Amino acid sequence: MRLLRSGSIVLFSNCVDVAAVLVRNVLLARLLSVTEFGLAATFAILMTIVETFQNVGLNRLVVQDPRADDPAFVSNLHGAQIVVSFMATILLILVAFIFAAATNTISQTGDYLILTVVPLINAFTNLDIFRMQRDGHFAPQALRSLLSQPLGLLAILPAYWFFHDHRVALAAILTQQVSAVALSHVGVQQSYRVSFDGTIARHAFRFGWPLVVNGLLMFFILNGDRMIVLNRFGPEALGWFSAALMLTMIPSNLAAKSLQTLALPALAKTQARPQDHAHLYTVLIALSALLAMTLTVGALLLGAAVLDLLFGARFHAAAAYIVPLACLNALRLFRAAPAIAALASAETRSPLYTNIVRLAGVPAALAIAATTGRIDAMILAGIGAELAAAYCAGLFTNVPHGRMHDGYYATLALLAASITLVLLAHYVNGYYALLLAAPFAIVGLRLAGLTANRSSILAAIPRLGQHKAAEQSKIYP
Protein backbone atom coordinates (compact mmCIF):
# COMPACT_ATOMS: atom_id res chain seq x y z
CA MET A 1 0.00 0.00 0.00
CA ARG A 2 2.81 2.40 0.88
CA LEU A 3 4.56 1.67 -2.43
CA LEU A 4 1.34 2.33 -4.33
CA ARG A 5 0.73 5.57 -2.43
CA SER A 6 4.29 6.78 -3.02
CA GLY A 7 4.08 5.89 -6.69
CA SER A 8 0.81 7.78 -7.05
CA ILE A 9 2.21 10.90 -5.38
CA VAL A 10 5.34 10.89 -7.54
CA LEU A 11 3.46 10.22 -10.76
CA PHE A 12 0.84 12.89 -10.10
CA SER A 13 3.38 15.57 -9.17
CA ASN A 14 5.55 14.75 -12.16
CA CYS A 15 2.53 14.83 -14.45
CA VAL A 16 1.62 18.30 -13.19
CA ASP A 17 5.23 19.38 -13.64
CA VAL A 18 5.49 18.25 -17.27
CA ALA A 19 1.94 19.39 -18.05
CA ALA A 20 2.89 22.88 -16.92
CA VAL A 21 5.99 22.76 -19.15
CA LEU A 22 3.83 21.64 -22.06
CA VAL A 23 1.25 24.37 -21.46
CA ARG A 24 4.03 26.94 -21.13
CA ASN A 25 5.51 25.99 -24.48
CA VAL A 26 2.14 25.80 -26.20
CA LEU A 27 1.24 29.25 -24.85
CA LEU A 28 4.57 30.63 -26.05
CA ALA A 29 4.03 29.06 -29.47
CA ARG A 30 0.59 30.63 -29.72
CA LEU A 31 1.76 34.07 -28.56
CA LEU A 32 5.03 34.30 -30.50
CA SER A 33 5.96 33.91 -34.13
CA VAL A 34 7.70 30.67 -35.16
CA THR A 35 11.01 32.53 -35.37
CA GLU A 36 10.61 34.08 -31.91
CA PHE A 37 9.60 30.68 -30.55
CA GLY A 38 12.82 29.29 -32.02
CA LEU A 39 14.83 31.99 -30.22
CA ALA A 40 12.95 31.18 -27.00
CA ALA A 41 14.03 27.55 -27.50
CA THR A 42 17.67 28.64 -27.21
CA PHE A 43 17.02 29.39 -23.53
CA ALA A 44 15.99 25.77 -23.00
CA ILE A 45 19.22 24.67 -24.69
CA LEU A 46 21.33 26.94 -22.50
CA MET A 47 19.46 25.82 -19.37
CA THR A 48 20.78 22.32 -20.04
CA ILE A 49 24.30 23.73 -19.75
CA VAL A 50 23.31 25.56 -16.57
CA GLU A 51 22.06 22.33 -15.01
CA THR A 52 25.15 20.45 -16.21
CA PHE A 53 27.72 22.73 -14.58
CA GLN A 54 26.06 22.56 -11.18
CA ASN A 55 25.03 18.92 -11.41
CA VAL A 56 27.49 17.10 -9.17
CA GLY A 57 24.62 14.83 -8.16
CA LEU A 58 24.22 16.09 -4.60
CA ASN A 59 20.47 15.46 -4.79
CA ARG A 60 21.22 11.83 -5.69
CA LEU A 61 24.14 11.46 -3.28
CA VAL A 62 21.91 12.48 -0.38
CA VAL A 63 19.55 9.64 -1.38
CA GLN A 64 22.26 7.05 -2.04
CA ASP A 65 24.63 7.65 0.88
CA PRO A 66 23.58 6.00 4.20
CA ARG A 67 25.19 8.86 6.17
CA ALA A 68 22.58 11.29 4.86
CA ASP A 69 20.40 10.82 7.96
CA ASP A 70 23.08 12.72 9.90
CA PRO A 71 22.18 16.46 9.77
CA ALA A 72 25.88 17.38 9.81
CA PHE A 73 26.47 15.44 6.61
CA VAL A 74 23.64 17.25 4.81
CA SER A 75 24.86 20.59 6.17
CA ASN A 76 28.29 19.94 4.69
CA LEU A 77 26.71 19.02 1.37
CA HIS A 78 25.00 22.42 1.42
CA GLY A 79 28.41 24.03 1.74
CA ALA A 80 29.73 22.02 -1.19
CA GLN A 81 26.62 22.99 -3.16
CA ILE A 82 27.30 26.71 -2.73
CA VAL A 83 30.91 26.33 -3.86
CA VAL A 84 29.86 24.36 -6.94
CA SER A 85 27.16 26.91 -7.81
CA PHE A 86 29.56 29.86 -7.73
CA MET A 87 32.04 27.97 -9.89
CA ALA A 88 29.23 27.12 -12.31
CA THR A 89 28.26 30.78 -12.64
CA ILE A 90 31.82 31.78 -13.55
CA LEU A 91 32.03 29.07 -16.22
CA LEU A 92 28.62 29.96 -17.63
CA ILE A 93 29.59 33.56 -18.24
CA LEU A 94 32.24 32.28 -20.63
CA VAL A 95 29.91 29.69 -22.14
CA ALA A 96 27.24 32.30 -22.87
CA PHE A 97 29.53 34.05 -25.34
CA ILE A 98 30.66 30.80 -26.95
CA PHE A 99 27.08 29.56 -27.26
CA ALA A 100 25.92 32.79 -28.88
CA ALA A 101 28.73 32.60 -31.45
CA ALA A 102 28.19 28.89 -32.18
CA THR A 103 24.45 29.32 -32.79
CA ASN A 104 24.64 32.62 -34.69
CA THR A 105 22.61 34.40 -32.00
CA ILE A 106 25.10 37.09 -30.96
CA SER A 107 22.29 39.60 -30.37
CA GLN A 108 20.91 37.37 -27.60
CA THR A 109 24.15 37.32 -25.57
CA GLY A 110 22.78 39.69 -22.92
CA ASP A 111 19.78 37.41 -22.36
CA TYR A 112 22.07 34.39 -22.05
CA LEU A 113 24.14 36.19 -19.42
CA ILE A 114 21.01 36.72 -17.33
CA LEU A 115 20.59 32.94 -17.17
CA THR A 116 23.96 32.64 -15.46
CA VAL A 117 22.32 33.74 -12.18
CA VAL A 118 20.35 30.46 -12.04
CA PRO A 119 23.17 28.50 -10.31
CA LEU A 120 23.41 31.25 -7.69
CA ILE A 121 19.69 30.84 -7.05
CA ASN A 122 19.92 27.05 -6.84
CA ALA A 123 22.87 27.25 -4.44
CA PHE A 124 20.37 27.60 -1.58
CA THR A 125 18.21 24.56 -2.31
CA ASN A 126 17.52 22.52 0.83
CA LEU A 127 18.79 18.99 0.10
CA ASP A 128 16.68 17.54 2.89
CA ILE A 129 13.80 17.48 0.42
CA PHE A 130 15.70 14.72 -1.40
CA ARG A 131 17.08 13.01 1.72
CA MET A 132 13.54 12.35 2.94
CA GLN A 133 12.97 10.14 -0.09
CA ARG A 134 15.26 7.55 1.51
CA ASP A 135 12.43 6.74 3.90
CA GLY A 136 9.65 7.01 1.38
CA HIS A 137 8.65 10.63 2.11
CA PHE A 138 7.91 12.09 -1.33
CA ALA A 139 5.32 14.71 -0.36
CA PRO A 140 7.69 17.73 -0.03
CA GLN A 141 9.28 17.05 -3.41
CA ALA A 142 5.82 16.47 -4.88
CA LEU A 143 4.67 19.86 -3.55
CA ARG A 144 7.73 21.47 -5.14
CA SER A 145 6.90 19.91 -8.51
CA LEU A 146 3.22 20.73 -8.21
CA LEU A 147 3.77 24.46 -7.66
CA SER A 148 7.07 25.62 -9.16
CA GLN A 149 6.31 25.00 -12.85
CA PRO A 150 2.75 26.41 -12.64
CA LEU A 151 4.17 29.55 -11.00
CA GLY A 152 6.55 29.90 -13.93
CA LEU A 153 3.58 29.47 -16.23
CA LEU A 154 1.72 32.31 -14.53
CA ALA A 155 4.62 34.66 -15.29
CA ILE A 156 4.13 34.36 -19.05
CA LEU A 157 1.20 36.74 -19.58
CA PRO A 158 2.56 39.73 -17.62
CA ALA A 159 5.98 39.14 -19.22
CA TYR A 160 4.38 39.06 -22.68
CA TRP A 161 2.59 42.33 -21.94
CA PHE A 162 5.98 43.84 -21.11
CA PHE A 163 8.32 42.24 -23.72
CA HIS A 164 6.22 40.87 -26.62
CA ASP A 165 9.12 38.64 -27.73
CA HIS A 166 11.24 35.58 -26.82
CA ARG A 167 12.27 37.14 -23.50
CA VAL A 168 8.93 35.95 -22.13
CA ALA A 169 10.48 32.48 -21.89
CA LEU A 170 13.39 33.90 -19.87
CA ALA A 171 10.99 35.45 -17.34
CA ALA A 172 9.12 32.14 -17.00
CA ILE A 173 12.35 30.17 -16.43
CA LEU A 174 13.62 32.55 -13.73
CA THR A 175 10.27 32.56 -11.93
CA GLN A 176 10.17 28.76 -11.93
CA GLN A 177 13.74 28.47 -10.61
CA VAL A 178 13.18 30.92 -7.74
CA SER A 179 9.93 29.15 -6.82
CA ALA A 180 11.59 25.73 -6.82
CA VAL A 181 14.32 26.87 -4.43
CA ALA A 182 11.83 28.54 -2.08
CA LEU A 183 9.61 25.43 -2.05
CA SER A 184 12.57 23.17 -1.21
CA HIS A 185 12.40 24.67 2.31
CA VAL A 186 8.72 23.74 2.78
CA GLY A 187 7.74 20.54 4.61
CA VAL A 188 11.30 19.35 5.29
CA GLN A 189 12.40 17.66 8.51
CA GLN A 190 15.79 19.36 8.83
CA SER A 191 16.20 23.11 8.53
CA TYR A 192 18.71 24.53 6.07
CA ARG A 193 22.19 24.80 7.60
CA VAL A 194 25.54 25.36 5.96
CA SER A 195 28.96 24.11 6.98
CA PHE A 196 31.98 22.89 5.10
CA ASP A 197 34.07 19.77 5.53
CA GLY A 198 36.89 19.12 3.08
CA THR A 199 36.59 15.34 3.41
CA ILE A 200 32.89 15.36 2.52
CA ALA A 201 33.48 17.88 -0.25
CA ARG A 202 36.09 15.59 -1.81
CA HIS A 203 33.72 12.65 -1.47
CA ALA A 204 31.01 14.66 -3.20
CA PHE A 205 33.46 15.57 -5.94
CA ARG A 206 34.46 11.93 -6.47
CA PHE A 207 30.80 11.03 -6.69
CA GLY A 208 29.86 13.97 -8.87
CA TRP A 209 32.62 14.65 -11.40
CA PRO A 210 31.56 11.80 -13.70
CA LEU A 211 28.02 13.18 -13.54
CA VAL A 212 29.24 16.64 -14.61
CA VAL A 213 31.21 15.23 -17.53
CA ASN A 214 28.28 12.98 -18.33
CA GLY A 215 26.01 16.02 -18.21
CA LEU A 216 28.22 17.79 -20.74
CA LEU A 217 27.95 14.77 -23.01
CA MET A 218 24.19 14.71 -22.48
CA PHE A 219 24.03 18.38 -23.40
CA PHE A 220 25.44 17.65 -26.84
CA ILE A 221 23.35 14.48 -27.12
CA LEU A 222 20.07 16.14 -26.14
CA ASN A 223 20.69 19.47 -27.84
CA GLY A 224 23.07 18.56 -30.65
CA ASP A 225 20.20 18.10 -33.07
CA ARG A 226 18.65 21.44 -32.13
CA MET A 227 21.95 23.27 -32.43
CA ILE A 228 22.53 21.69 -35.84
CA VAL A 229 19.04 22.70 -36.97
CA LEU A 230 19.58 26.27 -35.72
CA ASN A 231 22.99 26.54 -37.36
CA ARG A 232 22.07 24.89 -40.68
CA PHE A 233 18.38 25.77 -41.12
CA GLY A 234 17.76 28.90 -39.00
CA PRO A 235 15.57 29.89 -36.01
CA GLU A 236 12.25 29.26 -37.79
CA ALA A 237 13.19 25.63 -38.46
CA LEU A 238 14.36 25.36 -34.85
CA GLY A 239 10.94 26.65 -33.76
CA TRP A 240 8.87 23.88 -35.32
CA PHE A 241 11.57 21.23 -34.75
CA SER A 242 11.57 22.12 -31.03
CA ALA A 243 7.80 21.65 -30.93
CA ALA A 244 8.11 18.10 -32.28
CA LEU A 245 11.04 17.32 -30.01
CA MET A 246 9.18 18.61 -26.98
CA LEU A 247 6.13 16.43 -27.65
CA THR A 248 8.32 13.33 -27.59
CA MET A 249 10.74 14.36 -24.85
CA ILE A 250 8.11 15.37 -22.31
CA PRO A 251 6.56 11.87 -21.91
CA SER A 252 9.96 10.15 -21.98
CA ASN A 253 11.38 12.56 -19.40
CA LEU A 254 8.27 12.13 -17.25
CA ALA A 255 8.70 8.37 -17.28
CA ALA A 256 12.45 8.50 -16.62
CA LYS A 257 12.08 11.03 -13.80
CA SER A 258 9.33 9.01 -12.11
CA LEU A 259 11.29 5.77 -12.43
CA GLN A 260 14.39 7.36 -10.90
CA THR A 261 12.49 8.98 -8.03
CA LEU A 262 10.86 5.68 -7.06
CA ALA A 263 13.55 3.15 -7.97
CA LEU A 264 16.72 4.91 -6.81
CA PRO A 265 15.91 4.89 -3.05
CA ALA A 266 14.69 1.27 -3.22
CA LEU A 267 17.72 0.03 -5.16
CA ALA A 268 20.09 1.97 -2.91
CA LYS A 269 18.64 0.43 0.25
CA THR A 270 18.58 -3.15 -1.07
CA GLN A 271 22.25 -3.40 -2.03
CA ALA A 272 22.85 -5.71 0.92
CA ARG A 273 19.98 -7.98 -0.20
CA PRO A 274 21.06 -9.18 -3.68
CA GLN A 275 17.92 -11.16 -4.44
CA ASP A 276 15.58 -8.25 -3.74
CA HIS A 277 17.94 -5.87 -5.53
CA ALA A 278 18.06 -8.07 -8.62
CA HIS A 279 14.28 -8.47 -8.65
CA LEU A 280 13.69 -4.72 -8.49
CA TYR A 281 16.23 -4.11 -11.22
CA THR A 282 14.64 -6.70 -13.51
CA VAL A 283 11.24 -5.07 -13.01
CA LEU A 284 12.80 -1.68 -13.82
CA ILE A 285 14.19 -2.99 -17.12
CA ALA A 286 10.89 -4.48 -18.24
CA LEU A 287 8.86 -1.45 -17.17
CA SER A 288 11.15 1.02 -18.93
CA ALA A 289 10.96 -1.05 -22.13
CA LEU A 290 7.17 -1.20 -22.02
CA LEU A 291 6.93 2.56 -21.47
CA ALA A 292 9.38 3.14 -24.34
CA MET A 293 7.31 0.98 -26.70
CA THR A 294 4.15 2.82 -25.68
CA LEU A 295 5.81 6.15 -26.48
CA THR A 296 6.66 5.10 -30.06
CA VAL A 297 3.21 3.68 -30.79
CA GLY A 298 1.52 6.74 -29.32
CA ALA A 299 3.61 8.98 -31.57
CA LEU A 300 2.76 6.84 -34.61
CA LEU A 301 -0.98 6.94 -33.97
CA LEU A 302 -1.52 10.38 -32.43
CA GLY A 303 1.63 12.47 -32.84
CA ALA A 304 0.65 14.57 -35.86
CA ALA A 305 -2.87 15.16 -34.58
CA VAL A 306 -1.65 16.28 -31.16
CA LEU A 307 0.92 18.60 -32.77
CA ASP A 308 -1.72 20.31 -34.91
CA LEU A 309 -4.12 20.55 -31.99
CA LEU A 310 -1.63 22.13 -29.60
CA PHE A 311 0.57 24.25 -31.83
CA GLY A 312 -1.57 24.96 -34.87
CA ALA A 313 -0.97 24.89 -38.61
CA ARG A 314 2.17 27.06 -38.40
CA PHE A 315 4.06 24.12 -36.87
CA HIS A 316 2.69 21.35 -39.13
CA ALA A 317 6.06 20.94 -40.87
CA ALA A 318 7.28 19.19 -37.71
CA ALA A 319 4.71 16.38 -38.03
CA ALA A 320 7.02 14.39 -40.31
CA TYR A 321 9.63 14.10 -37.55
CA ILE A 322 7.54 13.17 -34.51
CA VAL A 323 7.76 9.39 -35.04
CA PRO A 324 11.55 9.14 -35.51
CA LEU A 325 12.09 11.56 -32.60
CA ALA A 326 9.84 9.36 -30.45
CA CYS A 327 11.92 6.31 -31.37
CA LEU A 328 15.10 8.16 -30.42
CA ASN A 329 13.67 9.21 -27.05
CA ALA A 330 12.31 5.71 -26.42
CA LEU A 331 15.83 4.29 -26.54
CA ARG A 332 17.01 7.09 -24.27
CA LEU A 333 14.24 6.21 -21.81
CA PHE A 334 15.29 2.54 -21.82
CA ARG A 335 18.87 3.55 -21.03
CA ALA A 336 17.60 5.17 -17.84
CA ALA A 337 17.23 1.73 -16.21
CA PRO A 338 20.94 0.78 -16.07
CA ALA A 339 21.83 4.39 -15.23
CA ILE A 340 19.54 4.33 -12.18
CA ALA A 341 20.99 1.00 -11.06
CA ALA A 342 24.51 2.38 -11.38
CA LEU A 343 23.66 5.48 -9.36
CA ALA A 344 22.11 3.33 -6.63
CA SER A 345 25.51 1.66 -6.25
CA ALA A 346 27.40 5.00 -6.35
CA GLU A 347 28.82 3.94 -9.72
CA THR A 348 28.62 7.24 -11.59
CA ARG A 349 31.11 6.42 -14.35
CA SER A 350 29.05 3.82 -16.19
CA PRO A 351 26.52 6.31 -17.63
CA LEU A 352 29.49 8.49 -18.61
CA TYR A 353 31.09 5.70 -20.63
CA THR A 354 27.77 4.90 -22.28
CA ASN A 355 27.22 8.51 -23.32
CA ILE A 356 30.70 8.71 -24.82
CA VAL A 357 29.49 6.05 -27.25
CA ARG A 358 26.27 7.99 -27.85
CA LEU A 359 28.16 11.22 -28.49
CA ALA A 360 29.68 9.70 -31.62
CA GLY A 361 26.28 10.14 -33.25
CA VAL A 362 26.40 13.95 -33.00
CA PRO A 363 29.17 14.59 -35.58
CA ALA A 364 27.58 11.90 -37.75
CA ALA A 365 24.28 13.79 -37.57
CA LEU A 366 26.03 17.05 -38.43
CA ALA A 367 27.73 15.46 -41.45
CA ILE A 368 24.45 13.95 -42.64
CA ALA A 369 22.59 17.24 -42.21
CA ALA A 370 25.30 19.06 -44.15
CA THR A 371 25.46 16.56 -47.02
CA THR A 372 21.78 15.65 -47.41
CA GLY A 373 20.01 18.76 -46.13
CA ARG A 374 17.47 16.39 -44.55
CA ILE A 375 16.47 16.58 -40.90
CA ASP A 376 14.92 13.10 -40.81
CA ALA A 377 18.19 11.52 -41.95
CA MET A 378 19.93 13.33 -39.10
CA ILE A 379 17.41 11.88 -36.62
CA LEU A 380 17.87 8.34 -37.96
CA ALA A 381 21.60 8.66 -37.33
CA GLY A 382 20.78 9.57 -33.77
CA ILE A 383 18.58 6.48 -33.40
CA GLY A 384 21.47 4.29 -34.49
CA ALA A 385 23.77 5.96 -31.96
CA GLU A 386 21.19 5.53 -29.18
CA LEU A 387 20.88 1.83 -29.99
CA ALA A 388 24.67 1.42 -29.82
CA ALA A 389 24.74 3.26 -26.48
CA ALA A 390 21.94 1.08 -25.09
CA TYR A 391 23.90 -2.02 -26.07
CA CYS A 392 27.07 -0.71 -24.43
CA ALA A 393 25.17 0.04 -21.23
CA GLY A 394 25.07 -3.71 -20.69
CA LEU A 395 28.84 -3.88 -20.96
CA PHE A 396 29.71 -0.90 -18.80
CA THR A 397 27.18 -1.09 -15.97
CA ASN A 398 27.85 -3.26 -12.93
CA VAL A 399 25.42 -3.75 -10.08
CA PRO A 400 25.84 -5.54 -6.73
CA HIS A 401 24.26 -8.79 -7.97
CA GLY A 402 26.75 -9.05 -10.84
CA ARG A 403 27.06 -8.00 -14.43
CA MET A 404 23.75 -7.31 -16.09
CA HIS A 405 21.99 -10.52 -17.05
CA ASP A 406 20.98 -11.68 -20.50
CA GLY A 407 17.42 -10.49 -19.87
CA TYR A 408 18.59 -6.94 -20.49
CA TYR A 409 19.72 -7.75 -24.01
CA ALA A 410 16.63 -9.81 -24.75
CA THR A 411 14.47 -6.86 -23.72
CA LEU A 412 16.62 -4.46 -25.75
CA ALA A 413 16.19 -6.71 -28.80
CA LEU A 414 12.41 -6.61 -28.41
CA LEU A 415 12.49 -2.81 -28.08
CA ALA A 416 14.70 -2.51 -31.18
CA ALA A 417 12.30 -4.75 -33.10
CA SER A 418 9.31 -2.60 -32.10
CA ILE A 419 11.15 0.59 -33.10
CA THR A 420 11.99 -0.93 -36.48
CA LEU A 421 8.34 -1.82 -37.03
CA VAL A 422 7.22 1.68 -36.03
CA LEU A 423 9.66 3.26 -38.48
CA LEU A 424 8.53 0.90 -41.26
CA ALA A 425 4.91 1.78 -40.52
CA HIS A 426 5.81 5.48 -40.67
CA TYR A 427 7.97 5.48 -43.80
CA VAL A 428 6.78 2.42 -45.79
CA ASN A 429 3.38 0.98 -44.90
CA GLY A 430 1.14 1.45 -41.90
CA TYR A 431 0.26 -2.25 -41.79
CA TYR A 432 3.64 -3.00 -40.20
CA ALA A 433 2.13 -1.58 -37.01
CA LEU A 434 0.02 -4.73 -36.68
CA LEU A 435 3.16 -6.74 -35.98
CA LEU A 436 3.85 -4.65 -32.90
CA ALA A 437 1.47 -6.85 -30.92
CA ALA A 438 4.17 -9.52 -30.59
CA PRO A 439 6.93 -7.53 -28.80
CA PHE A 440 4.31 -5.70 -26.74
CA ALA A 441 2.81 -8.99 -25.55
CA ILE A 442 6.19 -10.53 -24.70
CA VAL A 443 7.39 -7.57 -22.63
CA GLY A 444 3.97 -7.08 -21.05
CA LEU A 445 3.72 -10.72 -19.98
CA ARG A 446 7.27 -10.59 -18.67
CA LEU A 447 6.45 -7.56 -16.52
CA ALA A 448 3.22 -9.15 -15.33
CA GLY A 449 5.11 -12.25 -14.27
CA LEU A 450 7.68 -10.22 -12.37
CA THR A 451 5.06 -8.21 -10.51
CA ALA A 452 2.67 -11.10 -9.87
CA ASN A 453 4.38 -11.84 -6.56
CA ARG A 454 3.50 -8.53 -4.96
CA SER A 455 4.96 -9.49 -1.60
CA SER A 456 8.44 -9.91 -3.04
CA ILE A 457 8.41 -6.39 -4.42
CA LEU A 458 7.12 -4.88 -1.20
CA ALA A 459 9.76 -6.80 0.73
CA ALA A 460 12.43 -5.08 -1.35
CA ILE A 461 11.29 -1.67 -0.12
CA PRO A 462 12.67 -1.09 3.38
CA ARG A 463 10.17 -0.11 6.03
CA LEU A 464 10.23 3.40 7.36
CA GLY A 465 13.20 3.86 9.63
CA GLN A 466 14.69 0.41 8.97
CA HIS A 467 18.44 0.29 9.60
CA LYS A 468 18.36 4.00 10.47
CA ALA A 469 20.13 3.55 13.78
CA ALA A 470 22.89 1.55 12.12
CA GLU A 471 23.26 4.09 9.37
CA GLN A 472 23.54 7.01 11.77
CA SER A 473 26.30 5.26 13.67
CA LYS A 474 28.60 5.22 10.64
CA ILE A 475 31.40 7.76 10.61
CA TYR A 476 32.83 9.70 7.73
CA PRO A 477 35.61 7.97 5.75
Model pLDDT for residues 136-161, shown as the tens digit of each residue: 777 788 888 788 888 988 999 999 99
Q: What is the pTM of this model?
A: 0.69
Q: Which stretches in the chain have pLDDT values below 70?
A: 1-11, 52-57, 208-212, 214-215, 222, 348, 397-406, 452-477
pLDDT of residue 246: 86
Task: Name every residue whose Cβ is closer than 8 Å to that of residue 46 and which is 6 or more positions away in sequence.
Answer: 95, 96, 99, 112, 115
Contact 119, 85 (CB under 8 A): yes
pLDDT of residue 54: 57
Within 10 angstroms of residue 2's Cβ, the number of other Cβ atoms is: 11
Contact 348, 354 (CB under 8 A): no
Beta strands in 376-469 (DSSP E): 398-399, 402-403
pLDDT per residue as tens digits for the range 260-284? 877 877 777 777 777 777 778 888 8
pLDDT of residue 305: 92
